[in-house]
Amino acid sequence: MAERGDTHYKLSRMNAVFLLTSALLLGIAVWMVIDDWNRPWKQFQREYREMEYQRAAEQIAALETPEWQQQKQELERRITELQERLDSDAEHERAHAAARAAEGRRYKAESEFKIASANANWARFQVNQAWAGGDRSGGGGYAEAAHKLEEARREKEASERELAEASARLAAVTGERDRLQAELLGLTREADQLVVRMRSFAPSVFNSLRDFPGLDFVVPTVNVRKQVLPQLRKDYNFTTVARVDMCSSCHVAVDNPAYAGSEPPLNAHPRLDLFLSSGSPHPIDAIGCTVCHEGAAETLDFSRAVHTPEDEHEREEWQEKWGWHHWHLWDWPMLPTKYTEAGCYGCHSTGSDGPTLETIAPDAPRLSRGLALVERYGCYSCHNLQGWRDNRKIGPALDQLREKLSPEFTRAWIADPHDFRPSTRMPQVFHLENRVSAEWDDTAIAAVQAYLWGRSMGRALAPIPAEAAEQADPARGEALFRQVGCVACHNSPVTQPHEYSDFGPDLAGVGSKLSEQWLYHWLLDPESWWPDTRMPNLRLEPQQAADIARFLSGWKKDGWEPAPVAPDAAQLERQALAFLNSRYTLDEARTVYARWREEGGEQRVLEEVGQRWIARQGCYSCHSIPGFESGMPIGTDLSDWGNKNLHQLAFELWSEKVPGHLDGAVEPSRHAFAELKLGNPRRFDRGLEVAPLDRLRMPDFKLSEEEIEAITTVLLGLKDNAKVIQPGAYPRRDPTEIAYERGAFLARRLNCLGCHKFEMDTLLATEEADGRTLVHRYHGQVTLEDEDEEATYFKLWKTDADLAAAEDGAGTVGSVAEIPWVEDANGELKPWPVLKGAGGGVLDGLIQYYVDTGAVGDALEAFPLVPPILYGEGEKVRAPWVTQFLLAPYTLRPWLTIRMPRFRLSEQDARDLSLYFVALSRKEWPSKYARALRSSLGQSATDLAQAIGATPEQLREIEAGGRYNENVFGKLLAYGAAQGFQYDAPPDLPFEEVAERSPVYLAAREAATPGYLDKGGELIGPGGVDCYACHIKDGKEPGGDKLSWGPDLGYAKERLRPDWVRRWVVDAQKIYPGTKMPTALDLLANPRLDEILPGTALERVEAVKDFLMNSEKVREPATSTAMTGN
């Protein structure tokens, strides 16, 4: 087109511009397509496909060895020969034809049966309709249809029998070929599966076209992988939507165990037995990723997914490698790895519908530790925590403080409690970095002390009874202190600390704090001084309390004197006016202050100011203080702190202008704030002009870095999940799990583990086999670590099936396994590590004390003198008896100095604890069953696993007693039943009835054997095996060596389970290794006992058991000479 000359542009120039812009647009489009094709997540998936192809090829090569090839070819050759022979065999042809004909007749009969069944149903419907209308004359049609249905049923059953017979005749002819085909299929199954898998990842022209830039939107091999989770929602304030996680688009191997330990992102998630795998409690399709890890899951960009670096080094590495930058527009950045356990709290909090942390503590140790610290330091007292199950005030009651402490000690303690007791839970409230002045804080401390003294109840402290005081012996007191159970909860200068000994306060220097008189009364009745105390009543005699009080009062803190703390008159007036000015005008405040002065002088002012300091600091949240009975918590509500907006946190001074203000924080974040706040609660007043009474008031608990991280984990997990976690997301808990959680909480709250051992120790030994590291777990206790033999001798409390399979008679409960030591990295022989089982804090120290004092010759002899081991207690004792015993304990083992104390328990608490023992035994039962079954069969784990269609690893998971596959255990039970294996069932969870006490049961026994119960009593009496030579009888002690005594058998009917009594009498060593109880089965086999009860030893065991369950119904047996022979 010609130039017109009247335009402001030239067409040729426009064409050039159009050409250039079109080329630029084309280039941008091409660049966009190529850039999209080369996005990191697509590269990861292509790399994963290449690795999977290579891995499958390697597995096939490793499987198809020359021997494998030869075996396959031989099977194929033999199958071909047999098939050719069958093709020319007339008998095979007849059998095959007969089977086909029978199959046809069965098909026809089955079809006719279905038609007849439909007709009969229709006829019945018509009859019912007619009857509903009042017409009862038309039932003939249904009778005819029912008759035809019955004929069709007989024809069908006859055709099925005919087909079964024809198939059996055909199988008899083709049996060898069929067997070889099955063998070939078993040989090649894994290889065939690998070939199919390898082909799915194999590079090809078609796959290359599918993934070609610009065509990869059709059916590519790389896809956005997502999990849509309608039960786990995301709250966007105005609405909630289903959570959609796309993390596995990059982390494509996250649920593939073959990639454990690989470099991210192509690495497997840790603990696939627990997370993400289809058989785990948290499968990826139901749980996803962000409900635990947080982050923005609906994006495929590294930065916009809001990954959070662990430290400055990782931040720099990410910036260089991935171009990472902090994405501040997302409210829930990904949790650092060390805080991932915070995500567990959403489903497993104490107020949720899911399993609580009593159950999952081994899998979330940092969160569990944090919750224990929250409980230990009483964070819930000042801060509301929705669903927290313990609202007890953590500190002692202060309503009788005047009788307990001196004013000087009280002021010094308030000023700096850690100066006197470094391990105290009491935080430092005053003399922190945001104080006004030292004089200001000293005045406040004196005021608090004055108020507490003024409101003390003034209870008269009675003197120690004269006789007890005169005879008080500190040496005897120390012996009692070591033996009656004090060291289960308290550390002291004369004992070694253990895992549970920080439950109560450290008693070092207690004589510098408490008087002997007060200690005496406290020991006799702790609840009278502090109704909510966890210190139980030790059931001490007055003289025993006096001895211990004399001993404890002698512990003075060397070189320590209370630091002088005195009020400053000017500061006192300033504080009084500051408090009053919050309610009154300045003139009115001065008037009130003057009135205080007139009415009571400085003491009145101190008490008034002290009352206001207590209110401001919230002391009443932890302590019961007169005048503050209805005080409200002063701290921030933390129930939804994990969702708190960053703009609501004190990051307004995120600047280098305030040096040290945010040291250690990489970016503003919730976890950074929590770490800083817990490390120094008053630091956020730095750089600000704040009035004295408006300054931060959170006290300093002197937390370690480990404690700060643990509590931060809890804070990050505190979220109001009512809208985002739907009820269907929680797993259904069975009664055993619920009973376990309730009881475990109480056992921890009462520190039962300080005395009693609930779980036996585990020795871990490893060995290399077939390129894998196998971990062997021995359960029991170390009896000796012998340097000369370079071996550990380990007494088994659980059957060890591997030892049983290797050697006859080995591996049984009560046997001692010799486990050789192993060389460490330096070539030195070292014993294998031993993991301590839960509980038994006092055992080692108490046993050593008895050995050192000469009460016993060695550690094994001391076991009758220590608290009984409660491993397997649920199989032994009846829950109703445990409940009543906990509510009102009595002396069951009079030879023990340590005794069961009396706790402040409700009946429901006692019931929950009693069912806890049952739940423990039920949880332990699958492990015991699996070990006993394999031991009885003498099979290796590989052989038994193959027999039940499982892997050796799955079988060992069951034997280890941890998490296991329930389907595999079901197969194990079925296999055991098929093998005729018998094992006592686990104890029932509800309160059980004793069948042996029922009139019907006893009548049947009496009918079979007249005088049955009397004979059972004679069997254990002096004329039989004389159990009373060792056992207490109706309160009468047997005499002789107390270490061989047994509990009163009169309690057996209420206390013991009959099935346990039977097993105990048969072989007590299989239940409680090391017990003094002999193998009564051998004694009951004595032929002399035929005079009392003819029959076998096991029949006499039953009679003894039945007598013990009904002992009050039997007359006193006649005295006669005890049996002496064997």
Cβ neighbours for 196, distance < 8 A, ≥ 6 positions apart: none
CATH class, domain 995-1113, is mainly alpha
- Which pLDDT does position 868 carry in this prediction? 92
CATH topology of domain 62-133+140-208: Four Helix Bundle (Hemerythrin (Met), subunit A) (1.20.120)
Determine the pLDDT at residue 51. Answer: 94
Domain ranges across the chain: 1-37, 62-133+140-208, 401-621, 995-1113
User: Tokens 């008189």 appear where?
Assistant: 517
Strand 282-283 and strand 227-235: the pairing is unpaired
- Bridge partners, residue 763, by sequence: 778, 834
461 class by beta-carbon count within 10 Å (0-12 exposed, 13-18 middle, 19+ buried) = middle
CB 664 within 8 A of CB 676: yes
> 3-state SS string over 911-930?
HHHHHHHHHHHHHHHHHHHH
Two tokens, residue 1057: 């389970």
Amino acid at residue number 652: E
How much is the pLDDT for 1121?
38
Element (H, E) at 487: none
Q: Which two tokens stand for residue 463?
A: 């003197």
Specify the fold of 401-621.
Cytochrome Bc1 Complex; Chain D, domain 2 (1.10.760)
**Strand locations in 821-954, DSSP E?**
822-823, 829-830, 834-835
Q: Please, what is the angle between helix 952-960 and helix 966-978, to 10°?
A: 90
* pLDDT tens track for 960-983: 887 788 889 999 999 999 999 988
| Identity of the amino acid at 517 | Q
Which tokens belong to 672?
């950074």
Report pLDDT for 792.
Answer: 87
Please compute Rg for the chain using Cα positions. Answer: 39
DSSP collapsed to 3 states, 525-556 = CHHHCCCCCCCCECCCCHHHHHHHHHHHHCCC
* Domains 401-621 and 995-1113 alike in fold: yes
Q: Contact 1096/1062 with Cβ under 8 angstroms?
A: no
Q: What pLDDT does residue 160 have?
A: 93
* CA–CA gap between residue 227 and residue 231 (Å, rounded): 12
CB 169, CB 161: distance < 8 Å: no
Identity (one letter) of the amino acid at 716? L
Nearest to 811 by CA among 779, 765, 767, 775: 779
Task: State how far the Cα of 497 lies from the Cα of 508, in Å rounded to an integer.
Answer: 12
Element (H, E) at 791: strand 791-796
Single-letter amino acid code for the residue at 80: T
Distance between CA atoms of 941 and 972, rounded to whole angstroms?
12
Residues in the chain, total? 1126
Q: What is the pLDDT of residue 571?
A: 95
Burial of 633 (0-12, 13-18, 19+ CB in 10 A): middle
Distance, in Å, from the CA atom of 561 to the CA atom of 567, rounded to the nearest integer, reads 19
This prediction has a pTM of: 0.88
Q: Name every residue whose Cβ is closer than 8 Å to that of residue 406 and which is 6 or more positions away in sequence.
A: 562
CA 437 to chain CA centroid, Å, is: 48
pLDDT less than 50: residues of the chain: 656-657, 1118-1126
